[in-house]
Structure 1
Amino acid sequence: MNIGQRFYNWCRRIILCLRRFPKKIRIRPKFGSSFIQYWYCQSWSYDRWVNEYRMLQTIGINEIILQSIADTKSNVAVYPSKMNGYSSNGVDMLETALSAADNIGMNVRIGLGFNKDWWSPEAHGGTWLAREADVNNLIITEVMMMYSGHRSLAGWYIPYEFNPLMVVTHDQQAHLNQFFQKIAGSIKLASSKSIMIAPYYNARVSGPVTLTLWSNALRHVLKDTGIDILALQDSIGAGFNTLRDLDEVFASTKKAADEIGLTLYAVTETFEGNGDKSLPALQCQINEQLSRVSPFVREFVAFSIDHYQNGNESTQANGYKDYLQYYLNK
């Protein structure tokens, strides 16, 4: 038998082996990113950011997502914005976070502005959305002018999360599609970095929006917007879904994402509700959340190691150690 024939037979055996065990070929269920909210970190020093990044890197997380950088209702930003009427607390959080990340090889995904009126039903008309898109486009321009030289600026996050009750009608879907097109289009004109969005399905109150309708709505809302990553929240910590819901929810979402060319991530909620409080989830619960959705997604995002399993916070250190053990055992 010549070398070519032996190589052919070897390749054939490998292919047959892969076909025999397809279910074992799955992505590794670990976090690559974690969200952080600016109320927690807006006054941090350079050294405090370095400590946070090193804590995350120890458990394999190489990207932090700044959930938002401006309150567009209260006209407050976490960087020295020149937009009319905006103020900041005197610390340039963006510059500090990006500089520290540059130094130790961390990636930063920047969330844009957010207005809490988003949760009000009357906000979803075309006029409100157009005005909010215009403000966010100004934020994009400022960020690129002031911070584009940082190599750690690795992507963008649009913090306007939508759920099934926001996309019931064709008009709602069309308005949101235009809204996201306008914001993502501005990003694409200025940057080549990827854009993420994080909607969620609420199985408890979705009413007439079945999973089939949810999949159709996702296509109509996100098609041709320029958004790259659909990071679906599992909504376990918030209590909107149960573990039994996740297979169907993520399968339906993946169908839509595949059809319009978006990459599906999972946002795994690492907390659990306790009355009006949110407490760190047990690692066994997090393990199950990761395992359930692993056949459907490319990457996992934590919401949030920084807020619920933070190794720099004494009250959360045990949760951090539990996830570290899980990470090291994989």
Structure 2
Amino acid sequence: MSDSPLPVDLSSPLRRRLLRAALLAPAVGALATLPGCSVPVQVEGTFLQPWRSHLDWTMADWQRSVGLAQRLGCKQLVLQWTGIHGAPEGDWQLTDAGLRMLFTAAGEAGITVRVGLPFEQSWWQAIGGDDAALQAFFASSLARAQQWLAQAPWARLQAFGGWYLPYEIEQYHWADPARVQWLGQWLHGLHQAAQARGGDCAISTYFSRLQTSGRLETVWASLLDQVPLRPMVQDGVGVAGAGNVQQLKPLLAMLKQRGVAFDAIVELFRELPGENHDGTQFKGETADAARIERQLAWARDSGAEHVLVYALDPWLSQDTPQAKALRRQWGL
């Protein structure tokens, strides 16, 4: 077991998203109101990552975002989290009124909402820390999640599509079998609390480029022995490049061999070069359509039950030349 801190995995897609470098261009509000037409790309689902600014969203804002997903054929929206605990600027959560507007807009569009639990900002520090810090994190975060779920009414709504655990599992921080065992116990506790409210639990996973003796398929084999999660496999192309999908073959083979249902996530962005390499100044832009089409082809051939993109809003909706080019390519 580890007694010294581990380095943060700067390749983590969620870490990049948390930082969302200052910032994305404004979304194009008129997209959802354009006349209906057939589009050359069908997307089964998308993510929506809320921030404090979403606290001010009106029904029209939620309808705009959901309407774009509907036009591309989405049947599922993953709300990445409902708030953040331990954010530098203080804890925050979407209001019940805001979430109900999202559910109303999604229900009108025939889209289900997979609800993300509040995200614990100290996750990154905990998984890179020593064993005592990790176990303390698991205990405190599980207690808060259980309390939140006990009061969450969302599973009773018609558009509810399950729960999302807003973390990402890779192989670097989990090379130690003992730590994997603790991780599985924590996830089992979260799953039990969520299942008591109704619905399944999904969680994202990706291949880390950091050198380690850990193997992603080994980590997942152990976790699936402990808890019936639904993996959502990220292609990782946005930062790691197209070759990253090759690193996922052993995981996909293991999931297929076990008959585990999973989803594939296609990243719609690409990382731009920057002077700061510690992950705190991530800059990205919408990827070109040809690259995305290759990713979609991989996802369709992966054995995934559903193919989702990360994410229509903002990488398709924002008012940038790259996003405009992708909209033109997709007939929007």
Query: Is the 8 Å Cα contact of residues 173 and 217 (structure 1) preserved in structure 2?
Result: yes
Work out whether 1:116 is the aligned partner of 2:121: yes
Q: Which runs of 5+ in 1 are unaligned?
A: 1-28, 81-91, 326-330
Query: Is the 8 Å Cα contact of residues 36 and 66 (structure 1) preserved in structure 2?
Result: yes
Give the secondary structure class of the aligned counterpart of 1:160.
Answer: strand
Change (3 A) 1:231 1:282: same
Alignment partner of 2:134 out of 116, 125, 132: 125
Report how many residues are paired. 274
Residue 158 of structure 1 deviates from its aligned partner by: 0.4
**Of the two, which has the highest radius of gyration?**
1
> 1:288 maps to what in 2?
294
> 1:78 maps to what in 2?
94
Work out whether 1:185 is the aligned partner of 2:165: no
Residue 259 of structure 1 deviates from its aligned partner by: 4.8
> 1:252 maps to what in 2?
250
> 2:224 maps to what in 1?
222
Give the secondary structure class of the aligned counterpart of 1:231.
Answer: strand
Q: CA RMSD in A?
A: 2.2
Residue 267 of structure 1 deviates from its aligned partner by: 1.1
Change (3 A) 1:266 1:206: farther
CA–CA distance in 2 between the matches of 1:103 and 1:292? 31
CA–CA distance in 2 between the matches of 1:255 and 1:33? 23
Work out whether 1:170 is the aligned partner of 2:182: no
Query: Is the 8 Å Cα contact of residues 268 and 303 (structure 1) preserved in structure 2?
Result: yes
> 1:196 maps to what in 2?
202
Matches within 5 A, 1:1-330: 30-39=42-51, 41-73=54-86, 74-79=90-95, 92-120=97-125, 121-122=128-129, 125-144=134-153, 147-191=154-198, 193-202=199-208, 204-209=209-214, 213-227=215-229, 229-239=230-240, 242-247=241-246, 249-274=247-272, 275=274, 276-296=282-302, 297-310=304-317, 313-315=318-320, 316-324=323-331
Query: Is the 8 Å Cα contact of residues 236 and 244 (structure 2) preserved in structure 1?
Result: no
CA–CA distance in 1 between the matches of 2:195 and 2:291? 38
Show CA shifts across 1:141-167 (max 9, x none). Answer: 2222xx344211111110111211121
Show CA shifts across 1:73-124 (max 9, x none). Answer: 24321125xxxxxxxxxxx321211122223322111100112221121276
Show CA shifts across 1:244-276 (max 9, x none). Answer: 3413x3321123323554312211110001133
* Higher relative contact order (Cα pairs below 8 Å, separated by 6+ residues): 2
Change (3 A) 1:324 1:181: farther
CA–CA distance in 1 between the matches of 2:222 and 2:257? 11
CA–CA distance in 2 between the matches of 1:166 and 1:115? 17
Change (3 A) 1:221 1:152: same
Q: Which structure shows the bigger proportion of residues in helix conformation?
A: 1
Give the secondary structure class of the aligned counterpart of 1:167.
Answer: coil
Give me the TM-score of the superposition, normalised by structure 1: 0.77
Show CA shifts across 1:181-240 (max 9, x none). Answer: 00011111220x2321101102x313323xxx321111112333132x21111111122x
